[in-house]
Amino acid sequence: MGDRARHKLWAQDALAEIEYFRARLAVTTHVRERPRRRWSSPPAPDAHAPVAAGEAKRLLDLATDAACGRKPRYVPVVSWWSGNCTESAFRHVHNAEAVLVTLYDQGALRAEVPEAVRRAQESLAVGDPMRALCHRMFLAWEKGQHIDASDLAKLIEAGHAAADRQRARLRMFRNVLITGFAVTALLLICLVALAAWRPNLVPLCFVQNPPPAGPNLPNIVCPVKSIRNDNLTLLHTAPSSLDFFTVAVLGLMGGALSSALFIRDLYANATPYNVTVPLALLKLPAGALTGLVGIILLAGEFVPGFSAIDKPIQILAYALVFGFAQQLFTQYLDQRAQRLVNSVPTKTRGASVPDTPRAEPC
């Protein structure tokens, strides 16, 4: 289980962050324990430093266990759905980062302020009281004043906690999309199977009344065939078992075209949770169902003026258009996905890490 979890992309990202903060911890501890020259001022005694270093190491060990799928245990599909390993790994890494800050000197603290302030501004709500601390921290950094390590640790913890909640919302939204796709696809399969078994249960045929003037022109038009019957005695035999399937395929094609056009900007985000694929998949059965519903409404003369359809290709063309029009119903999901992706702060790190022996963390 551990090896399988470790090879996930999110686990590789988590392990890279763990190695980074292990290196920071080693460098910080080495600087604090390094003997001073005789003429340098002695460092102020800090009984908190060994405790903080031990706590940071413990949190990084917990993060490694989570990223490697040991604790919590990685279970295929279940862990992917619940995100327990992912969120546990990053949560422990973020807590370790907040603890590590209390060990930094003023130079290292000042280097951490811009990233902490940016993250807090992007993730904290407008009325959050921590925004006042964020503003004070930025002013102190800008004016070259003393940076309080405890305040910076609180700001980092609050920013990461808010960002983690946003990522959890994105995961739940992804799960809702997958559930919606499964339910919609199952409903579509049941409808197509029922229509194939009983074609005349919900006929998708158009009847021209009065019939065309030409004796050879059809007056009953269905998605896959058309017939001529002036007395309409053969109306119950006109529907075919392939009518629903054909209209569903054309609607699915319209949904696929809509998917390609309207979610092109959602292909990447800075989280382990990809909502683009579930959103694109959901549009396919949604387009098929929209195509079927649209043709049923037209055949039932729900919309006046469409009884003049005299070719099967016209029905298929309307199915394609209705499938594309599912965007009118799913555009809210597109907007919701875009807002959730934008609410997750992206992480940029320009600091360099000293060369340290690389060890296999798992």
The predicted pLDDT at position 146 comes to: 92
Q: Could you give the count of Cα atoms lying within 13 Å of 205 in the half-sphere of its Cβ?
A: 28
Q: Which residues of the chain have pLDDT under 70?
A: 1-7, 30-47, 210-215, 230-236, 264-270, 304-308, 346-362
Range of the domain at 130: 2-35+44-173
The predicted pLDDT at position 235 comes to: 66
Longest Cα pair distance anywhere in the chain, in angstroms?
A: 114
Distance of CA 40 to the CA centre of its chain: 53
Q: Domain check: are 149 and 291 in the same one? A: no
Rounded CA separation 197/333 (Å): 34
Q: Domain check: are 162 and 295 in the same one? A: no
**Is residue 205 classed as helix, strand or coil in its secondary structure?**
coil
Q: In the chain, which ranges are E strands?
A: 206-207, 220-221, 226-227
221 beta partners: 206, 226
Q: Domain check: are 139 and 275 in the same one? A: no
Q: Which residue, 140, 173, 206, sits at the end of a domain?
A: 173
Q: For residue 52, what are the contacts with CB-CB under 8 A and spacing of at least 6?
A: 99, 100, 102, 103
Within a domain: 361 = no
Q: Domain check: are 123 and 23 in the same one? A: yes
| Residue among 266, 234, 230, 250 at smallest CA distance from 321 | 250
Q: Domain check: are 158 and 196 in the same one? A: no
Q: Domain check: are 114 and 134 in the same one? A: yes
Rounded CA separation 170/86 (Å): 13
Within a domain: 356 = no
For 314, counting Cβ atoms within 10 Å of its Cβ (0-12 exposed, 13-18 middle, 19+ buried), the class is middle
Q: Domain check: are 21 and 142 in the same one? A: yes
Q: How many domains does the chain have?
A: 2
Q: Domain check: are 197 and 153 in the same one? A: no
Q: Which residue, 106, 139, 173, sits at the end of a domain?
A: 173
Within a domain: 125 = yes
Within a domain: 352 = no
Predicted structure pTM score: 0.81
The predicted pLDDT at position 234 comes to: 66
Rounded CA separation 3/362 (Å): 8
Q: Domain check: are 100 and 199 in the same one? A: no
Q: Domain check: are 253 and 142 in the same one? A: no
Cα-atom radius of gyration of the chain, to the nearest Å?
31
Within a domain: 260 = yes
Residue corresponding to tokens 């939204």: 173
Within a domain: 15 = yes
Rounded CA separation 176/17 (Å): 29
The predicted pLDDT at position 356 comes to: 34
226 beta partners: 221
Q: CB count, 10 Å around CB of 341? A: 21
**Is residue 37 classed as helix, strand or coil in its secondary structure?**
coil
Within a domain: 358 = no
**Is residue 70 classed as helix, strand or coil in its secondary structure?**
strand
| Residue among 312, 314, 321 at smallest CA distance from 294 | 321
Q: Domain check: are 314 and 230 in the same one? A: yes
Rounded CA separation 293/19 (Å): 55
Rounded CA separation 96/93 (Å): 5
Q: Domain check: are 117 and 211 in the same one? A: no
The predicted pLDDT at position 112 comes to: 93
| Residue among 251, 242, 318, 319 at smallest CA distance from 285 | 251
Within a domain: 235 = yes
